[in-house]
Structure formats: structure tokens, C-alpha cells
Amino acid sequence: MRDRMVELVGQGVNSDNAPERPVIVDGTLGAGGHSEAFLDAFPHAIVVGLDRDPNALAEANERLAGYGDRFVSYQTRFDGVTEALEDLMGQGVLPESMREHGISGFLFDLGVSSMQLDQPERGFAYAVDAPLDMRMDPSSPLTAAEILNTYSHGEIARILKTYGDERFAGKIASAVVRERDKQPFENSGRLVELLYATIPAASRRSGGHPAKRTFQALRIEVNAELESLENLIPEISRWMHVGAMGVFMSYQSLEDKIVKKALVQLSTSKTPAGLPMELPGMEAEFELRTRGAEKASDAEIERNSRAAPVRVRAFSRVSDRGKTTFPLDTPS
């Protein structure tokens, strides 16, 4: 959906309130495909690419080197956006206008990236026997193996049920605890075999691969993905100038529910229901720009089957009542 992302973000970049050098945040840089599209479409803009994965940063930096100082990368979990922007302003990498104007657009393409799925040694894919790692940032301490080998039965069941919507969460947790007493879990192949043996055959015949929900749940727990998302939305929204556009791409229902709830709250007036007029200072600061959640077209899915579950939600700032300016200390 590259063209659609450019169209949506472009509404903020080309808005009347955008500065001469607008800033776009690509909060999930990956291999740099979306950043490249933004750089090509908006030659007057600066793109800040965030990613916690140093491998992704290295690949994107190489890919986008030809854009010079119009592209800036920064290693952080995406809810570290304020720290990243403040640091880049302090270094003089981002323009002084950031202090007053904020950003003109952002995109967060949530979940695991195609690049990470295609690196078997990272342990994200259940189709290949690999170490049970699943860390987006390899320097983070928690791995999927540690969860399976150290979490209690109740904690494992909760993760599988909450983050994977796994019907057999308790049964799988019991099997994991029983098997780890014999030998700690290290590789994904053994976990996949356990899931095949634990989930009833009738249930395995529908709903996709029987390991899909468990691997999703473990990945979300390892990377604190939902916690990061909940922290991110109020943070990034404060950086948007009037007319700026924000876009989220979600691939599973837990992400989309968090995004939907937050955007509805941001776009709802605080005036008590039933009053005949809007109370001063109570108007909504943001406006939804997509009708519900947009989906990929059939043609897009045919080109890239991984686009099938995507849900796109966009919003823009319409009032500067709650906008935050982030000035740094001015040297005397």
C-alpha cells in the first residue's frame, strides 16, 4: 500500500501549516521502503526513520544513503520518539523549526517486518527450525526461550490467551511446563511439534497453522509490542502541527483495537453530551481521516499476500489546543 501511504502522509506534508522543510517520521523503518517512497514523493521533506533493530537500520542506511541529510535514522523502540526527536534537534540534525512546528506526518507499520520474518535465525517464523529468539532488538534480554523455560504455567497461559487468542492456552501451557522439565526449550521445531501434539486434530484443520497464535503471542511478549503502542499514540500526537497526518497499519486485532480506541478518544469533543454548542477549549483536537479501517485491495494482496490482514487508520490534527512544543535549553 505504498502509494496510499504516500497519499495520506502527503496531506500533512502539503498542508497550509507545514513548514518549509517538513519532517516525516517513519516509526517502523524496516528495510526503508516507505521512507524511500516519502523521500521521492516529497523532495523538500526530511524523513526520520526509527527502528529498534540494528540490522534494519544498517540495511536502510545503505539503501537511502543517496538522499544525504534528508534521511536520518535513529535506534529506539518506537515509543521512544520524543527522546529521538529531542536528541536529533540537540545535535542540529533536525531544523530549528521543529521546536515550533513539530512534525507534518508519520507512519507506523506495526508488527514484525517482512525482513525479520525472512531471517530464519531470528526465530520469528514457525516454518523453519531456528533458535527461539524473536527479539526485534538483539540486545534486549528477554527471548521466547526464556519465557517458555521460566514463566509459570499461569503466565504462559495468560500470554497465549491474551496476545494470541489461543483457545487451548491452558493445555499448551501445561504441555510446555511438562516438557521443559525434561529439557529446556531452545529451538522452534520442538515447540511446533509440541503444538501439533497438543492442539486437537479437528482444530488444526481450520484457522491456519496451529503454531501461528502461539508464535504471535510470544513475539508480542518478548518485544512488549502492545505496551509500546499504548505509550506511543499520545506521545506522537503531541508532535503534530495543525494539518499534520498520522497513519497506523495494523496486522492483528489487538493492535487495531488499541489504535481505534485511542484515535476515537483523540477525535471526540470533551463537551458534555446534550449541550447545544461546543464549549470553548473542549473541541476535539483531531479528526479521523479514514472511514473505519481501510484494507488492502485484491490487486495489492495478489502482489503481496502479507498485506491481506492489514488495517489502515489515519487521523489529522485540527486544533493546536493540546500541541506540545519541545524546546531544549538554550545556551547562555
What's the pLDDT tens digit per position in 133-162? 999 898 999 999 999 999 999 999 999 999
Task: State how far the Cα of 72 lies from the Cα of 61, in Å rounded to an integer.
Answer: 8
Query: Which amino acid does the sequence have at 113?
Result: S
- 33 labelled as ligand-binding? yes
Q: On the CB side of 91, how many CA atoms lie within 13 Å of its CA?
A: 11
**pLDDT interval class at 116 (50, 70, 90):** low
Confidence of residue 118 (pLDDT cuts 50, 70, 90): low
* Residue 101 three-state SS: helix
Please spell the DSSP secondary structure of 99-162, one letter per residue.
Answer: HHH-EEEEEEE-S--HHHHT-GGG---TTS--BS---SSTTSS--HHHHHHHS-HHHHHHHHHH
Does 281 carry a binding-site annotation?
Answer: no
Residue 241 marked in a binding site: no
SS3 46: strand
pLDDT score of 93 more than 80:
yes
Structural domains of the chain in order of their starting residue, each with its CATH number: 2-114+225-317 (3.40.50.150), 122-223 (1.10.150.170)
Q: Which three cell numbers stand for residue 238?
A: 503531541
User: Has this prediction a pTM greater than 0.75?
Assistant: yes
For the segment 93-98, the average pLDDT, to the nearest whole number, is: 84
Q: Give dist(CA 52, CA 55) in Å, integer.
A: 9
pLDDT score at 121: 63
Q: Is 298 annotated as a binding residue?
A: no
pLDDT for position 35: 97
More confident: 33 or 320: 33
Integer CA distances (angstroms), 79 to 9, 51, 205, 227, 232, in order: 19, 10, 38, 9, 4
Residue 116 assigned ligand-binding role? yes
Asked whether the predicted pLDDT for residue 330 surpasses 60, the reply is no
Pairing of strands 286-288, 311-317: antiparallel
